[in-house]
Chain A
């Protein structure tokens, strides 16, 4: 992973250059999570997760609620302590540092702005509470805060109070506030969750720009896979306290390595099949898809709606009865009932095809994955 090039011209010169040993506590770090376990009472929220994040990377922790992604984020921030395991910032033990010492910027879903302070005072807060010897003067604090306000494109709003701002504006102030302390690591907890769809999209683009300009190592938590795929350099897919897969957006979309990842990212349908004699079997019919080196026995066939084509040769293809169809953008989504069990499969076909309910269709997946039944436990 190449380090991000920092555009020093645009980002407020706050000593945030890699290798600047003088501001050791402000160096952008790489992060190492080693076998972190977090138990709440007897319930494990994290089952021993390990993860490496390179300096300057933008990483998404993606998963449904209960997957442990927020717990992991809070552990990185210092707001929570793992039951066991290690967390390293630049190969130094981060767990022995208190929250205050870690110098991590945290942006909350609900902004957590201080309502009794103006925008400018909010941004400057992290600088004002520093110990006397590290504390910049009031003038300097004000200057830096104004610079950051400008950087997040909210100039002119310095005297306003949070209650007088829109949601999107508040979140940008929260960003500026986190950036003001020259953090080593930027953590975002579902930062756009409280905003409406349009603002969310705008801020996503904005976040990517900011990241490219500042080059901070950034970890953000989201349950929105679209967001994760759009923004992140790498995506960490989590479920029930475990990491299912780590990869680039392309990797987790095109090469999911578990039923959970396949079904969580993008659209998918699955079919219960059998693997035998080198082939895939649906009910008692062979399908001409190779078994590969998967063991004999029950398995799940996963495919995506648009990775399917009508079978020119219906012999040994998949058969389904049309139960419903609807227009979907420029194509048509067809819901099929497949096999004796009537599994519901959704496929995408050209819009101009003539379709009737209860008709049968033979189709083949262009791309698909097979997962042996033992991995079904991880299926959401």
Chain B
């Protein structure tokens, strides 16, 4: 059944099932992904371009988008730094409990976001384990922007670690030896030779963590406090608009968020393409 749905195989194949498999795949994707996403774009298009622009740049929406974006940026930056350290420690050193720690890094992937959300709130609320230590110092975490950032750090932690680890593992020790014979001390070797090589992976992990954080809902919603213009994240605003039956507005905000996510994905692809060109496919 070659040629199903108008797609011709590049090479004839003895293996059966192309039509069936591809047909099912495309149908599934259309029903689950493409058509609903089209509905999103269509709905926001009903506002017309100026209407769309008005919604997205409205004061409350803008505040929410900015909040989501900049707290995500801060969290991803923290994750970039500590993620590299964690990946370094897990790959380069041997110490008791290392394997356990390595497995544990994936917790944010496995733990439901709502569970993470209430747990973090319990921790950082003024009467929580950590909150009660910080409160006397005047540092408030729960129900503030800082709380949002903390939740987003939790969410994005595995991304940088997992993208840096394989690159670090494959890193050629001879490069470090070469640098040492040329007179570089350890600090110079790490910062001038190793980190630049790791940079594409770090950037990729950073962008992935950022993309995830921008759209995050469950782990943030409890700790945030959700005060409009201050601690109201964009996804929450979408839900509020939905409850008000402002479907078009909700769709518009959603489309704006999609554009941000796709921009970040594009960034990741560009970084990887640049890396392939510069460093060669070695």
Please say whether the chains A and B touch (CB closer than 8 A): yes
Instruction: Mark A residues whose CB is within 8 Å of B.
Output: 77-79, 99-100, 102-106, 108, 110, 112, 114-117, 125-126, 129-130, 161-164, 177-178, 180-181
The interface residues of chain B lying within 8 Å CB-to-CB of A130 are 183
Q: How far is the CA of A249 from the CA of B282 in the complex (A)?
A: 38
Beta-carbon contact of A115 and B182 below 8 Å: no
| Among B172, B179, B181, B278: residue with most chain A CB under 10 A | B181
The interface residues of chain B lying within 8 Å CB-to-CB of A99 are 177, 180-181
Q: How far is the CA of A186 from the CA of B179 in the complex (A)?
A: 15
Q: How far is the CA of A218 from the CA of B183 in the complex (A)?
A: 19
Known: A108-B178, A116-B278, A161-B278. A126 touches B183 (CB 8 A): yes
Q: Which one, A78, A110, A114, A117, contacts B181 given CB within 8 A?
A: A78
Closest CB of chain B to A169's CB: distance in Å?
Answer: 13
Known: A100-B184, A129-B184. A112 touches B280 (CB 8 A): no
Q: How far is the CA of A265 from the CA of B185 in the complex (A)?
A: 41
Q: Which one, B175, B180, B279, contacts A79 given CB within 8 A?
A: B180
Is B243 part of the binding interface, using a Cβ–Cβ cutoff of 8 Å?
A: no
Known: A114-B175, A114-B193, A116-B197. A106 touches B279 (CB 8 A): no
The interface residues of chain B lying within 8 Å CB-to-CB of A112 are 172, 174-175, 177-178
Residue-wise interface mask of B (155-189) relative to A, using a CB-CB cutoff of 8 A (1 in contact, 0 not): 00000000000000000101101111111110010
The interface residues of chain A lying within 8 Å CB-to-CB of B23 are none
Is B192 part of the binding interface, using a Cβ–Cβ cutoff of 8 Å?
A: yes
The interface residues of chain A lying within 8 Å CB-to-CB of B172 are 110, 112
Q: How far is the CA of A125 from the CA of B279 in the complex (A)?
A: 18
| Secondary structure of the B contact surface, majority rule | helix
What is the number of residues of chain B that contact chain A, defined by CB distance less than 8 Å?
Answer: 23
Besides the known contacts A99-B180, A117-B196, A129-B179, 14 further A-B residue pairs in the complex with CB atoms under 8 A apart: A78-B181, A100-B181, A108-B174, A110-B174, A115-B197, A115-B278, A116-B279, A125-B192, A126-B183, A129-B182, A161-B278, A163-B279, A163-B280, A163-B281
Residue-wise interface mask of B (53-96) relative to A, using a CB-CB cutoff of 8 A (1 in contact, 0 not): 00000000000000000000000000000000000000000000
Closest CB of chain A to B280's CB: distance in Å?
Answer: 3
Closest CB of chain B to A109's CB: distance in Å?
Answer: 9
The interface residues of chain A lying within 8 Å CB-to-CB of B282 are 115, 163
The interface residues of chain B lying within 8 Å CB-to-CB of A163 are 278-282
Q: Which one, B182, B199, B278, B280, contacts A125 given CB within 8 A?
A: B182
Beta-carbon contact of B183 and A181 below 8 Å: yes
Closest CB of chain B to A137's CB: distance in Å?
Answer: 17
Please, could you name 19 A-B residue pairs with CB atoms under 8 Å apart, sorted by A? A78-B180, A99-B181, A100-B180, A100-B181, A100-B185, A106-B181, A112-B175, A114-B179, A115-B280, A115-B282, A125-B192, A126-B182, A126-B184, A161-B279, A162-B280, A177-B182, A178-B181, A178-B182, A180-B182
| Among A77, A126, A180: residue with most chain B CB under 10 A | A126
Instruction: Mark B residues whose CB is within 8 Å of A.
Output: 172, 174-175, 177-185, 188, 192-193, 196-197, 199, 278-282
Closest CB of chain B to A199's CB: distance in Å?
Answer: 18
Q: How far is the CA of A104 from the CA of B183 in the complex (A)?
A: 9
Closest CB of chain B to A376's CB: distance in Å?
Answer: 38
Closest-by-CB residue of B relative to A103 is: B183
| Among A78, A114, A130, A162: residue with most chain B CB under 10 A | A114
| Among B192, B199, B281: residue with most chain A CB under 10 A | B192
Closest CB of chain A to B73's CB: distance in Å?
Answer: 25
Closest CB of chain B to A116's CB: distance in Å?
Answer: 4
Q: How far is the CA of A106 from the CA of B179 in the complex (A)?
A: 10
Complex A-B, nearest 5 residue pairs according to Cβ-Cβ distance, in ascending order? A163-B280, A126-B182, A112-B178, A129-B184, A112-B174
Q: Which one, A125, A178, A180, contacts B179 given CB within 8 A?
A: A125
Q: How far is the CA of A105 from the CA of B172 in the complex (A)?
A: 19
Q: How far is the CA of A181 from the CA of B196 in the complex (A)?
A: 22
Q: How far is the CA of A112 from the CA of B184 in the complex (A)?
A: 15
Q: How far is the CA of A108 from the CA of B172 in the complex (A)?
A: 12
Closest CB of chain B to A181's CB: distance in Å?
Answer: 6
The interface residues of chain B lying within 8 Å CB-to-CB of A116 are 196-197, 199, 278-279
Closest CB of chain A to B92's CB: distance in Å?
Answer: 17
Q: How far is the CA of A180 from the CA of B184 in the complex (A)?
A: 14
Beta-carbon contact of B183 and A105 below 8 Å: no
Beta-carbon contact of A100 and B183 below 8 Å: yes
Q: How far is the CA of A268 from the CA of B2 in the complex (A)?
A: 64
Closest CB of chain A to B196's CB: distance in Å?
Answer: 4
Beta-carbon contact of B181 and A104 below 8 Å: yes
Closest CB of chain A to B204's CB: distance in Å?
Answer: 16
Q: How far is the CA of A162 from the CA of B197 in the complex (A)?
A: 13
The interface residues of chain A lying within 8 Å CB-to-CB of B183 are 100, 103, 126, 129-130, 181
Closest-by-CB residue of B relative to A126 is: B182
Q: How far is the CA of A102 from the CA of B180 in the complex (A)?
A: 10
Closest-by-CB residue of A relative to B182 is: A126
Closest CB of chain B to A75's CB: distance in Å?
Answer: 13
